[in-house]
Structure 1
Amino acid sequence: MTSSDGSVGDARRAATAFVARELPEADLGALALVVSELVANAARHAGGWWCLTVRRDGQNLVVDVDDRSPAVPTARPARLDGLGGHGLHIVRELFGPVEILPRARGKTVRARWVAGRRPRDNRQPDSRSAAPQP
């Protein structure tokens, strides 16, 4: 699917419909968020044009977003007002490392979901519950 075929929401819906059929054990909520972030980033920061490809790789899932900008995306500090800086952090948390593959006219940003992967649990232990009981 490309930007001329639809919106970020259309890309998200198409990706989750495909994966629900092809790999129902995948985390569809995580997929929807990852697709939204990668496509929105391409639309916002790489000139607007994007091409989404979602494919199954055995029991794993590969999400590629091509764009026409050679600029390598970098994770920025998240803004507290909710206006940016969250995208790559979210993708890495849900899917893992992000690959940047240069192309003749731009790049591909690739995220890979490995079967059985769950987001990291980054919560700190609650010191009150860890205290010894009298």
Structure 2
Amino acid sequence: MLVLDSARTDTARARRATVRFLRDRCPWADVHDVLLVVSELLGNAVRHTDGDWLLHMTCRRESLVLEVHDSSTDRPIPRDGDPVDGGGFGWGIVEELTSSVTVRPHAAGKAVRAVWHPADAATRA
């Protein structure tokens, strides 16, 4: 299990820890796909909230589960990407690179849960 929060680390270190975790604990996962999703979710937590986040990742034989908690109750809003001014691509990327993604509100904000299954990861490879 990997647990990190914004009070003790920053997003760059969280990405490096994610890579180490995947290489050590989840060899079937596509490191690039997971890292892109982690970067997107942490980036959104920093950009669209007060900046506090909690990352929780577990890997088992049947799934890799990533949860990013932040302080906003607002759900991500899918929108068309804007190649000129930027933005709008992230949520579509998260949906495309995961087996499933859900958003769950809670008392302190929300949790975005991304799940990967080995069979889905093998299909994308």
Distance 1:69 1:119 in 2: 34
Q: TM-score with structure 2 length normalisation?
A: 0.87
Q: 1:16 to 1:83 in 2, by over 3 A?
A: same
Give the CA deviation at 1:118.
Answer: 4.1
Distance 2:118 2:28 in 1: 8
8 Å CA contact 1:93–1:120 kept in 2: the answer is: no
Query: After superposition, where does 1:65-80 map in structure 2 within 5 Å?
Result: 65-80=68-83
Q: 1:20 to 1:82 in 2, by over 3 A?
A: farther
Listed as ranges, the gaps of 5+ residues in structure 1 are: 122-134
Q: TM-score with structure 1 length normalisation?
A: 0.82
The structure with the largest strand share of the pair is: 2
Question: Which structure ranks higher in relative contact order (CA pairs < 8 Å, sequence separation ≥ 6)?
Answer: 2
Tell me the SS of whatever aligns to 1:62.
Answer: strand
Q: Which residue of 2 aligns with 1:6?
A: 9
Q: Between 32-41 and 91-100, report the one with greater CA deviation.
A: 91-100
Residue number among 3, 10, 23 corresponding to 1:20 in the alignment: 23
1:14-39: per-residue Cα shift (whole Å, max 9, x none)? Answer: 11211111111110111110100011
Matched, 1:113 2:116: yes
Q: Between 105-114 and 81-90, report the one with greater CA deviation.
A: 81-90
Q: 1:86 to 1:108 in 2, by over 3 A?
A: same
8 Å CA contact 1:23–1:59 kept in 2: the answer is: no
Q: Percent of aligned positions with the same letter in both sequences?
A: 37
Listed as ranges, the gaps of 5+ residues in structure 2 are: none
Matched, 1:101 2:125: no
Larger Rg: 1
Q: 1:77 to 1:63 in 2, by over 3 A?
A: same
Q: 1:97 to 1:105 in 2, by over 3 A?
A: same
Distance 1:14 1:75 in 2: 28
Q: Which residue of 2 aligns with 1:88?
A: 91
> RMSD between aligned alpha carbons?
1.9
Q: Which residue of 2 aligns with 1:45?
A: 48
